[in-house]
Amino acid sequence: MSGNDHSYKEKKVISIGTVSEITGLSERQIRYYEERKLIFPERTKKGTRKYSFNDVEQLMEIIEKMEDGVQTHEIRKDILKKERKLDERALRNSMIQGQLNARFGFPKSP
């Protein structure tokens, strides 16, 4: 998969009604998970929520965890932990790239 393969998954284009149909969750449940900071839809100028395919996948994971008895605050901790790991990985990759650029005389990447 190339880097562009993930871009469509990140676009916030799906309405809450469609997300409800896909996941089987009620719109109220979806809004609850937003309130609990487990998903982060974008808002249009008129205030309509828009979700991405990644959000739908996140909701499916939340459903599985909730069925296994995991509480929302525990799910949030897991999400934060994943985000930290991704941030750390990105920082490490950036540092390695900087070292390679310095070693081989490449210009800094934008």
Q: Are 40 and 19 in contact (CB under 8 A)?
A: no
H or E segment and range at residue 97 = helix 72-104
6 confidence band (pLDDT: 50, 70, 90) = low
109 in any annotated domain: no
85 in any annotated domain: yes
57 in any annotated domain: yes
pLDDT in tens, 54-78: 999 999 999 999 999 999 899 999 8
Question: Tell me, what DSSP letter sits at residue 9?
Answer: H
60 in any annotated domain: yes
Laid out side by side, the sheet with 49-51 consists of 14-15, 49-51, 42-43
pLDDT in tens, 14-63: 999 999 999 999 999 999 999 999 999 999 999 999 999 999 999 999 99
Alpha helices by DSSP H, listed for 6-71, are 7-10, 16-23, 27-35, 53-67
53 in any annotated domain: yes
For 61, counting Cβ atoms within 10 Å of its Cβ (0-12 exposed, 13-18 middle, 19+ buried), the class is middle
Domain that holds residue 93: 3-104
Give the pTM.
0.68
Check which CATH number belongs to the domain holding 55 and give it. Answer: 1.10.1660.10
51 in any annotated domain: yes
Domain count for the chain, please give it. 1
Quote the pLDDT of residue 1. 46
71 in any annotated domain: yes
**Angstrom distance (rounded) from CA 104 to CA 86:** 27
Q: Are 18 and 56 in contact (CB under 8 A)?
A: no
